[in-house]
Chain A
């Protein structure tokens, strides 16, 4: 079997496709007939106005009047009606106002240039308004996805907080009885896992909804690694973690929280796939504007058939350690991509797996002046 996809993945995909809660605006909704009527009436009104004022101001400024109309409808209407206004205005202006009248021929070079410019500007306007509208739709749907995620996150985390707080409170009550202590420890472990799964699910949804934008700020790589190791401490019990990093690494511009989360996932993955007591190495290198963070373990490595798939959502290789969700590495992949980087995985010659994230970063190497206190 080439990896299993759980039922869960199917139901999550359904949810995403149907988008039951999506706002009514979409990119390809049909243009109401009303908009075409407005376009035609608008063009007619502008033409009547032009006929009335032409004896006073001449035919050339009328082009500007028509352009004004294109801009006005561009703000309110869809692409189709806007283009209709642009084209019909051009035709009417040429036929009715540019000599010789009632004929597509344009006599003077000046008029010809005006006409061509008008047509180009009108078409560009139509195009720009459509783009603007599309951007607005995307923004609205991003806002919506964000709100939905926030409320789902609240609904999942609130009851979990209550359970966690209850267990913590009870822990004090049960005191030092060793048998109950084991029970308490197992409960805590379970809760911690549940918490991680919920975090991973929410992060995956954020990635799929494309509402994740890294907020870049200066950070210290050593610091980032240290924080990730501390955060995964419980999950790494029984493993030895060694950090191999140059002491003179520059500070980099990245989203520290996202990279930390990715590194945590890589560490937990390494711990789950290698024997207790073995060594996990975190390696950091920065050269040529690219930061590489890799995690190496001493497990039995990744089967060759699984290697190309391990970063897919819900992919669980046949040899995968029990208890995983198939989300951890997919999130690492997503977060790394969000930074414009890429992940890679391979088996080490000495045994075990190595998974690396490589991201392009802005670096700053700067030794503060040694002013002694």
Chain B
């Protein structure tokens, strides 16, 4: 990897059915301090790409290297329904090998920044979708990962939380973290250092005005 790169994917090919690869010879390099946005049509393989980056799926060809720990916020809510918000922080924090005091401290800080402290002792099944999504995202930050991989992380969040989310991303970026975000929102593009589109199994940069994938004009 080049000196600043925390993530490098080279010629990655993957498909759930080997005869129909979703990712084809895909290359991606992300440096520390970057916020890379990835967009694409429904079913183009964005979530699959993120799962491959995080190590949940093994590419049939190619390599993916991540320097340091990666944090992952999945598209679906993956939380323990009958545990409280605080308990969910603890179970995933302990999974990350963090001591309890650190977990509680980080959890309090994250809850305050995203505005859901009052739900600390509420079970997940009783939360609104937006609040649960905040927790879903916040858990990805436990343990201060070097790379954040976020799959549509602010679905259902209110505007204040959405703003707080981006403030956090900018702060993380200044601390040298690398962030990869899958997003469908056009207005997010100005927040990314780079925007890539997943088309036909490969990533391509947004080249010019009238790019159909940026939503500026018809294909």
Whether chain B is bound by chain A comes out as no
Query: Which A residues lie at the B interface, using CB under 8 A?
Result: none
